[in-house]
Amino acid sequence: MSALNRLRAAARSDMKRWGNPDLAWRACFSTDGTDGPTGVAPVCRDEGHDPDDGSVYVCCPGPVIEVESAPLAEYLAALLNTDCPKEA
Ligand SMILES: [Zn+2]
C-alpha cells in the first residue's frame, strides 16, 4: 500500500467519528465577515441545512478548517472530493 493510500484510509476511518464517513467536503464560511467561503468543512447532511447554504451551524460535522482564501478553499474541497470519492 502506498503512503498516500495508507494516509487516505486512516483519514477515512478517522472521519467516521466526525459524522463524515464518505469524506465529502465543501467550501464554507468559517469566519464572519468574509466575502467568500474561506474554510473547508465536511458536507452537512442535516435535512434542515440547505445544501446551497455555505454557513457552518451546530448541525454540521467537523472539522472546519480555515484557510483564509476562497479560491484555496474551493480548490482544497475539489481536490479532497476527487481524491476520496464515496465508498461503494
Ligand atoms: Zn449543517
Q: For 25-71, how does the pLDDT look when each residue is reduced to its tens digit (9 = 90+)?
A: 999 999 888 889 999 999 998 999 999 999 999 999 889 999 999 99
- Check: CB of residue 41 under 8 Å from CB of residue 26: yes
- pLDDT at position 84 is 72
Which value, to the nearest 10 degrees, does the dihedral of the CA atoms of residues 18, 24, 27, 32 take? -20
Residue 1 CA to ligand 1 center (angstroms) comes to 35
23 sits in the region (left: phi over 0; alpha: psi -120 to 50; else beta) called: left
Residue 24 CA to ligand 1 center (angstroms) comes to 13
Q: Which of 60, 46, 53 is nearest to 18 (CA)?
A: 60
- State the pTM of this model: 0.83
Residue 41 CA to ligand 1 center (angstroms) comes to 10
The x, y and z cell numbers of residue 87, run together, are 465508498
Residue 45 CA to ligand 1 center (angstroms) comes to 7
How far, in Å, CA of 22 to CA of 24, rounded?
6
The x, y and z cell numbers of residue 49, run together, are 441545512
Residue 68 CA to ligand 1 center (angstroms) comes to 21
- Check: CB of residue 41 under 8 Å from CB of residue 50: no
* Confidence category of residue 83, pLDDT binned at 50, 70, 90: confident
